[in-house]
Structure 1
């Protein structure tokens, strides 16, 4: 067997060298219980995907005026329940600092 490498000779006949097929299926909600998974999934969809184009444009213009991304501005509304204003200098600075820390 001089021309066959050792790895190929270790595999059984008909084995393609791929991953094992015995791996257990893992559901999309992870290993724990299902809990509130579908409620959270619906809430996420409602917050990010079912927004009217007018609201998206309003938030986008406001975010650009404040130097934030659409996602940062929308998260502030969703998490804190308020629209940032130009006077919210400290909070805007915190968001920008957090952005720069994420990029590291």
Structure 2
């Protein structure tokens, strides 16, 4: 699953773009696919604990100077039940794009 998310990021420049500042002015920097691995942390939880963890993942701020505009988390409810949670910053996608 982590490889699948990484593959999607590698295929879309907007998902592997960061915005570091040079002399106080942000500029666009498209990372090579090898640099743009999102990772896929796995969080053990219960169905009751899932909403709070998803809200915390949703509310975590992006640092666009260094963070990719896509974040992925996998919540493990049981050995055979998981929830994939994706958060996309509006700089990389908006309602019209989706």
TM range (shorter): under 0.3
Higher strand proportion (structure 1 or 2) = 2
| Larger Rg, first or second structure (1 or 2) | 1
Higher relative contact order (Cα pairs below 8 Å, separated by 6+ residues): 2
Q: Which structure's residues are more often helix, by fraction?
A: 1
